[in-house]
Amino acid sequence: MSATVTLINVFTAKPGKQQELARTLAEGTRNFFSKQPGSLSSSVVVVGDGSKVANISQWRSGEDIAAFRADPRFADYMKSIIELAAGESMMGHTIYSHTGGVEN
């Protein structure tokens, strides 16, 4: 089992807000999440149903995620997300991954 922690956030956008939600998540990921200690990778995925957006990130540890969430900027960021969507967050350990033909 990998020590890497995967954080998966799935958001259901309010009607007509999927693209705005995706942009907000991408900006937050680019300008804030990716610069946090322990952040390894992140992806924002727009689901073709017109309502869902997923944010999938890899972190060095659960402690790094907790520290990131304790940052006061995180609360402000989440306020902007809550205006656009409801979400669910789950954290787990990666048991298999495949990148560029290489198993990790």
Task: Give just the sign of the alpha carbon dihedral 29, 34, 37, 38.
Answer: positive
Distance of alpha carbon 13 from alpha carbon 19, whole angstroms: 9
Q: What is the pLDDT of residues 63-96, one digit of tens each?
A: 999 999 999 999 999 999 999 999 999 999 888 8
CB-based contact 5:92 (threshold 8 Å): yes
- Reported as a single tens digit per residue, the pLDDT across 19-71 is 999 999 999 999 998 999 999 999 999 999 899 999 999 999 999 999 999 99
Hey, what domains does the chain have and what are their CATH numbers?
Answer: 5-94 (3.30.70.100)
